[in-house]
Amino acid sequence: MNLDHNKSKVLVFNKVAEIPTMVWEELNCSQNLYFSSNYLEALEKNNSHLSFFYLVLKNENEKAIAFANAQIINFQFRSLENDTTNFLKKITSIGRRLTILPKKKPLTIINCGNAFVSGEHGIFIKNGENKRLILKIISKGILHHTENNNRENPIDIFMVKDFIAESLPITNELMNLGYYAINIEPNMILKINPKWQNFEDYLIALKTKFRVKAKKAMTLSNDIITKEISVLNFDEHLVKMTELYKKVVTKAEFNLGEFNLQTYKSLKAKLGDSYILKTYWIGNEMIGFMSGMINKSHLDAHYVGIDYELNKQYAIYQRMLYDYIKIAIAHKIEILNFGRTASEIKSSVGAVPQDLSVYIRHKKSIRNKFLKLFLLKIQPSEFKQKFPFKKS
């Protein structure tokens, strides 16, 4: 069905609960858990430091045909204290000289996408619709919504994230609206061979060097006990899990917003076995945790927590990567998405990079011209790709 731009309607909702049930039925998007009300409500309920809002696009027949998930983020520069590489300090200095980054107030960003997960989880468009036109209407709807809402911190940056290469012929439409496209750190993706019936089959597929490395990690982590986290035992472990999460997140070069781990309890309650939450123990001490979501034929790794002082001794992080692979094989998953960061070690277990693009523009047109110069300074971290599998 063709969309008449003049007769289409964009509705804005500030809470998932405000979206009528009929909209979800017309969109038929909930089988993708990232576009389910259960998942979105869990994020909204537990991350009040972000302002969430949602756009629903209806056609001339008043039928919902597209949905967008957005957040207003007040990005703080406190992370500069943990900037051991001086990357953020350098970028922040350049941004302030170009008057793109404010000196005193937070950088206020509108993010259309998922602030906590990498991938195309921000915009859902029904099949058969004009995706270029819908993307344009949604972008203008976000702009209109923010212009008509007075805020303590005016919006600085508009961002639409994260798109794989196959989507760019459509999403490049945003460049006609003043957005610039930049490459960010890639997702690290492992395609699960359907012939792998168990972890041993995966090990057999590895070259000798990488199989030896995997077996060494499994030996080092042999004393680790794993425990599943449920809604019933979640509260007693939250403080320690948060402590371990913060050890990891402070090492990240860039982080849109801290994730409130209380969200896990809601996700387990709403999504059940589709949401994975596992802790790692040596004796009575928790030394790590991992999380992830089974979404149709994909397993997406989410946040982890690690005691880095014990990481080398017990190969905690490597063990987690192999555990994700075990889970993927057991559930007959097609694609295991390890997410961004730590690309080299992820490539050593077989993951390959999936390039992602983000579209960014400054609200003020003159500063938007400077933004292009600023973005040229930001490049994804390079890493040495490993090729651990035997040639078939």
Question: Which residue positions in the chain have pLDDT lower than 50?
Answer: 1-2, 80-81
149 shares a domain with 22:
yes
pTM, 2 dp: 0.91
274 shares a domain with 252:
yes
Q: Which pairing describes strands 123-125 and 157-164: parallel, antiparallel, or unpaired?
A: unpaired
pLDDT at 99: 60
Answer whether residue 320 is part of any domain.
Answer: yes
364 shares a domain with 306:
no
* DSSP of 254-298: --SS---TTHHHHHHHHHGGGEEEEEEEETTEEEEEEEEEEETTE
Cα 53–Cα 129–Cα 297 angle in degrees, nearest 5: 75
Answer whether residue 387 is part of any domain.
Answer: no
Distance CA 31, CA 111 (A): 23
pLDDT at 160: 95
pLDDT at 258: 86
140 shares a domain with 272:
no
Domain that holds residue 206: 189-353
Q: pLDDT tens digit string along 54-100?
A: 999 999 999 999 999 999 998 765 554 455 555 556 666 666 665 66
209 shares a domain with 106:
no
Please name the amino acid found at residue 166.
E
Q: How many domains does the chain have?
A: 2
Start-to-end C-alpha separation, the chain: 45
pLDDT at 1: 37
339 shares a domain with 218:
yes
Answer whether residue 3 is part of any domain.
Answer: no
SS3 of the chain: helix, strand, coil, percent, to 5: 40, 25, 35
193 shares a domain with 177:
no
213 shares a domain with 156:
no
86 shares a domain with 18:
yes
CATH number at residue 224: 3.40.630.30
215 shares a domain with 338:
yes
Percent of the chain exceeding pLDDT 90 equals 73
Answer whether residue 388 is part of any domain.
Answer: no
250 shares a domain with 319:
yes
pLDDT at 170: 94
221 shares a domain with 76:
no
Q: What are phi and psi of 302, to 5 degrees?
A: -110, -145
Return all residues near 217 (Cβ < 8 A) that are at least 6 apart: 315, 318, 319, 322
Q: How far apart, in Å, are the Cα atoms of 55 and each of 21, 49, 254? A: 15, 20, 27
* DSSP of 61-114: TS-EEEEEEEEEEEE-SGGGGG-TTSHHHHHHHHHHHTT-S-SSS-EEEEEES-
